[in-house]
Every structure is written in C-alpha cells, then in structure tokens.
Amino acid sequence: MDKILNWFSSIFELIHEIWERESTHKTVSVLLVITFLFALFVIEINRQGWLPASLSSKISLSHYMAINLAFSLVLILEVVSLIFALPSSMSKSLGK
C-alpha cells in the first residue's frame, strides 16, 4: 500500500511542479486569450451568416458567450490551482 501511495504522491508532485512553472502560466494565459478571440471570431462569422446551417444552430449569436467561455476556463484553472495548493498550506489555499 505504501508503494502505491508513494507512486501517486510522486506523480502529484511532478504535475504540481509542471503546473507552477512560469512557462506553464504564460502558455495557459496565451491559450486563454486565443480561445477568447477565436470564440469571438466564430460568433461573428455566425452573426454574419457565413456558417452552414448545421453549425449555425449550435453556435451562439451573442458575444457574451465568448466572455462566458473565457471566464469559465479561468474558473476551472483556479480550481485546479486550489487543488494543488490544498496539500501545501491551509493559509495559501485560503489565499487562493
């Protein structure tokens, strides 16, 4: 049982180390901006009527949905950060 716990602990630490890197934060930030801009682009194409009907029915006409998508992704990223912060320190977790 100790081997399994140690194995999971080492995997958790590896993922945590990768998550806390500055390069990971920069990459995630850039991906969030690109996702937001892409969503705006697709919504605007849909508003202009340039998408086929099969896609048009699935994509919103409101730019608010692009903002909603971006903020939802930020919320997911903050939950992941909180999960990684919980084992470290209770005060650090509360700060998150």
DSSP string, 8-70: HHHHHHHHHHHHTSHHHHHHHHHHHHHHHHHHHHHHHHHHHT-S-HHHHTTS-S-THHHHHHH
pLDDT at 59: 94
**Burial of residue 93 (number of CB atoms within 10 Å: 0-12, 13-18, 19+):** middle
Q: How far apart are CA 6 and CA 96, in angstroms?
A: 27
For 27, the domain range is: 2-95
pLDDT tens digits, one per residue of 22-72: 999 999 999 999 999 999 999 999 999 999 999 999 999 999 999 999 999
User: How many distinct structural domains can be found in the chain?
Assistant: 1
How many angstroms separate the Cα of 70 from the Cα of each of 10, 87, 90? 32, 27, 28
Q: What is the pLDDT of residues 68-85, one digit of tens each?
A: 999 999 999 999 998 888
